[in-house]
Amino acid sequence: MATFRLTLEYDGGDFHGWQRQPRLRTVEGELRAALDRLGAGEVELTAAGRTDAGAHAHGQVVGLHLDRPWEPERLRRALGSVLPPDVTVSAVAEVAEGFHARRHAVARTYRYLVVPRRAPLARRFAWEVSREVDLEAMRGAAELLRGRHDFGAFGRSPQPGGSTVRTVHDISVRRVTAPCGGESFPVLVLEVTADAFLYGMMRSFVGALVAVATGRLSRAALAAALAHPTSRAERVTVAPARGLHQWAVTYPSPPGGDQ
């Protein structure tokens, strides 16, 4: 049996998230169907995380066990020939037996895109915010989220009764100019790297930071949500999934025991 680490990119707009579900189109379902077309049958695989319906991935990592060896680049090309156009395998590496894409990860990075204006051509991949956004207020509020905290007010544990304590290693907010459809418009890029994320945590972060930046939430109220993790901050909209981009997963070196 050979073990591989796959890196996937996908446009999540037409998917009901990562995890396989009956009668719904999911990324895991498409990957398993592609592997079946290659003669792999029902396979054992693990994923670094579960993206929401409508969310996108640039570096989703999958651990895969196959009954027969493949040359990694040949496997990448073979999967690319049978996967649908909105998902691709960008890299394949053979790793040591026992590699687990979620348990062996030491950090994850997400990006979220906010467009501070109406931008129909960008709305598949970003959240349009029509109110004026105070970038410096957003940056100042973001610093409150850095470090190790109980983030129970911003999400729930993947395990029933599990801990909601996580460590945010880095958080940044920057403004860039993006071209789209023959025009350019401003985009706010919120990037967070953490040891792990709660369900809904990144989208709740963005909703809270946008609320501060548009004057709907005070910095003190955001701090109170951190101090009292069993209650959510008022007047905070959870950001829509379409602006969420799973960006990268970090593993110890060598990742998963590369061969």
Q: What is the mean pLDDT of the chain?
A: 91
93 and 126 fall within a common domain: no
- Going by pLDDT thresholds of 50, 70 and 90, the confidence category of residue 70 is very high
Could you tell me if 110 and 134 are in contact, meaning their C-beta atoms sit under 8 angstroms apart? Answer: no
32 domain-assigned: yes
111 and 181 fall within a common domain: yes
Work out the average pLDDT over 30-37.
96
Give the containing element (helix H, strand E) for 141.
helix 135-144
Domain that holds residue 13: 2-103
Question: Is the model's pLDDT at 116 over the cut of 90?
Answer: no
Q: Which of 82, 103, 124 is the last residue of a domain?
A: 103
Model pLDDT, residue 3: 94
Residue 170 a catalytic site member: no
147 and 44 fall within a common domain: no
DSSP structure string for 215-234: TSS-HHHHHHHHH-TTSPPT
CATH of residue 157: 3.30.70.660
For 50-75, b where at least 16 C-beta lie within 10 A, e where not — what string?
Answer: bbbbbbbbbbbbbbbbbeeebebeeb
Greater pLDDT, 116 or 75 = 75
Work out the average pLDDT over 232-249.
86
Model pLDDT, residue 179: 73
pTM of the model: 0.92
Model pLDDT, residue 120: 73
Instruction: Give 70's contacts (C-beta < 8 A, 6+ positions apart).
Output: 2, 4, 78
Alpha helices in 58-134 (DSSP H): 72-82
Q: Which of 52, 86, 170, 195 is catalytic?
A: 52
